[in-house]
Amino acid sequence: MTVIGIIGGGQLAQMMVQAGISLGLDFRLLALESDESAPNFVPRTTRVKEFTFEELSKFSTDCDLITFDHELVPASTLRQIDDHHTKFFPSANTLELAARKSVSRRMMAEHKLPTPKFHIAHNLQELTLAIEDLGGICVIKSSHGGYDGRGIFYVNNRSELESLSSKLPRDFEVVVEERLDITQEIAVLIVRARSGQMVSYPVLDTFQINSICHHVSAPSSIPEELIDRASNLGFQIAEMTGAVGILAIEMFVVGDQILINEMAPRPHNSGHLTIEACVTSQFENHLRAILDLPLGSTNLRQGAAMVNIIGNQNDLPYQVDLGKLTKTPDIKVHLYGKTPRDGRKLGHITALGSTATDALAKANQAIADALQN
């Protein structure tokens, strides 16, 4: 039986394990002590305080292949181990591109791929010049470690720089980008196998509240020409980065432009609806890709929508009422077993319908029913 190691113990690891059971795979987890989801389902979990060379080396000896739940492992450490084992998918280089926004943005610029206008700043002088060049209205993103709204700052004029500087660490690296009038945010999910075979999922519309994904729907509402352009960019980036597994790329639609925002070389929150909505889920295809198996069909069965269950968002109580959420028979509920807190993703629901709009209405109604006393 093939043993897959997963570094990280969150809900993405949990859903990878669930998808891998039907493929006859065995799993090991290397999880931080704070991770609370996947270890509940994987008895062979090693908990560590940090991902050190020693811990990663020891873990890798028990696994045939290793993949990731997140990008928080130092790429330099992985490279040392890769020299001996060469079984990390994605590779350390691909992981670093996603983990550091500055690195990925430079790569996009070098290959003349469309992104928002941006600067990279390492000190207050560079930050000031960047803000001035962008007209004083911009978005500042931490280069490393920011997600779900963390590490993102909005600047409306230069006078706000002083208060912002107190929130930045002494040694910082940030991406400073123009503020856009965004028509629609989308996600493109590409699967690339070790053999080089690639397939794409239908382009997804994503909707954020406070920079946290609130819901996702498919098929996308944007024009077909923009869908084709976004998918082609996704294939280009997957090939360019040497990605193996899922590569999720967040993009902005601004009028008739497609601009690349950021990417993640692993299963992604935007792709959760593929579990019910597509012939092969993103989680199964990720595993197929790293095992170099033929990739499964990504065809959309029908319209679909996924709504995240987030601590204190939508006025949801911290204790999710499973009985109320399951009152609607054609709603699928996924709870992660995580300790609730403000802004934390506790689970998601997925609905199918004749159209994306129909599916989203069902999902929203299920949430509304769950809130009734």
pLDDT in tens, 325-369: 888 888 999 999 888 878 888 899 999 999 999 999 999 998 888
Is residue 180 annotated as involved in ligand binding?
yes
Q: Looking at this protein, which amino acid is placed at residue 90? A: P
**What one-character DSSP code corresponds to residue 164?**
H
Q: Which pTM value belongs to this model?
A: 0.93
Residue 178 annotated in ligand binding? yes
- Three-state DSSP at 134 gives coil
**Rg for the chain, CA atoms, rounded:** 20
* pLDDT at res. 315: 57
Residue 71 is assigned to a ligand binding site: no
Q: Is 49 annotated as a binding residue?
A: no
Q: Give the pLDDT confidence score for residue 343 in this predicted structure.
A: 80
Residue 74, pLDDT > 80, answer: yes
d(CA 188, CA 179): 22
Model pLDDT, residue 149: 60
* Residue 179 is assigned to a ligand binding site: yes
pLDDT band at 161 (very low <50, low <70, confident <90, very high): confident
Q: CATH topology of 3-88 equal to that of 117-178? A: no
**Strand pairing category for 331-335 and 345-353:** antiparallel
43 Cβ neighbours under 8 A, 6+ residues apart: none
Is the pLDDT assigned to residue 296 strictly greater than 60?
A: yes
Higher pLDDT, 91 or 235: 235
9-13: average pLDDT: 95
Looking at residue 370, what is its pLDDT?
A: 78
Average pLDDT over all residues of the chain: 90
User: What CATH topology corresponds to 117-178?
Assistant: Dna Ligase; domain 1 (3.30.1490)
- String of DSSP letters for 85-109: H--BSS-HHHHHHHHBHHHHHHHHH
Residue 185, annotated ligand binder? yes
* Average of per-residue pLDDT across 72-93: 81
Question: Is pLDDT above 90 for 311?
Answer: no
- Pick one of 3.40.50.20, 3.30.1330.40, 3.40.50.300, 3.40.50.920 as the CATH number of 3-88: 3.40.50.20
Does 160 count as an annotated binding residue?
no
- At 136, the pLDDT band (50, 70, 90 cuts) reads confident
Domain boundary assignment for the chain: 3-88, 117-178, 184-371
Task: Note the pLDDT of residue 124.
Answer: 85
Instruction: Give dist(CA 46, CA 31) in Å, integer.
Output: 6
User: What is the separation of C-alpha 89 from the centre of its chain, rounded to a whole number of angstroms?
Assistant: 16
Lowest mean pLDDT among 44-53, 194-203, 223-232, 275-284: 44-53
What's the farthest any 2 CA atoms get from each other in the chain?
61
CATH class of the domain defined by 184-371 = alpha beta
CA distance 161 to 42: 46
Mean pLDDT of 38-64: 92
86: pLDDT strictly greater than 70:
no
308 known ligand binder: no
Does residue 262 have a known ligand-binding role?
A: yes
Q: Is the pLDDT at 314 greater than 60, yes or no?
A: no
